[in-house]
Amino acid sequence: MADFKIVLSDQKTGRSYKLDASGGAAGALVGKRIGDELDAGVFGLPGYRMQITGGSDRNGTPARRNLPFAGRRKVLLSAGAGFKPAREGQRRRKTVRGNEITPDFVQINARIVQYGEKSPDEYFAKPAAEEKKQ
């Protein structure tokens, strides 16, 4: 089965948190598309909902929201995820991924849409031993 690293952004505080998803939790993401909302209780965040905002595969190839397919393709880009033009009007053919999550993804970016009872800091608190070392 697939293993994913989920980067979960908190819009209120501006912080990001890393989640590791494997097994059944990762299976809940396969087949979803960028922009879909899902329950974050599967990842250990009861009461939370998250929205998928992007991702990338093992080579760092970014996923684009506006491409409705599951694999990689070379497309002509003028701006957006995967290409930043150096001058006005520049276009380039770049390899990008479609918006469907597949087991080839390594990182999935998401943001919190609905908050649960506890704050995200309580779920992602560092162990006391690590805090003393710093």
> What total of structural domains would you count in the chain?
1
Averaged pLDDT, 2-29: 90
114 falls within a domain: yes
119 falls within a domain: yes
Confidence of residue 44 (pLDDT cuts 50, 70, 90): confident
Q: Which domain holds residue 55?
A: 3-64+101-133
60 falls within a domain: yes
% of the chain beyond a pLDDT of 90: 66
43 falls within a domain: yes
Averaged pLDDT, 34-40: 93
79 falls within a domain: no
Residue 131, pLDDT above cutoff 70 = no
93 falls within a domain: no
Alpha-carbon distance of 16 to 128, in angstroms, equals 20
Please tell me the predicted confidence (pLDDT) of residue 126.
Answer: 73
Residue 7, pLDDT above cutoff 60 = yes
82 falls within a domain: no
76 falls within a domain: no
Residue 119, pLDDT above cutoff 60 = yes
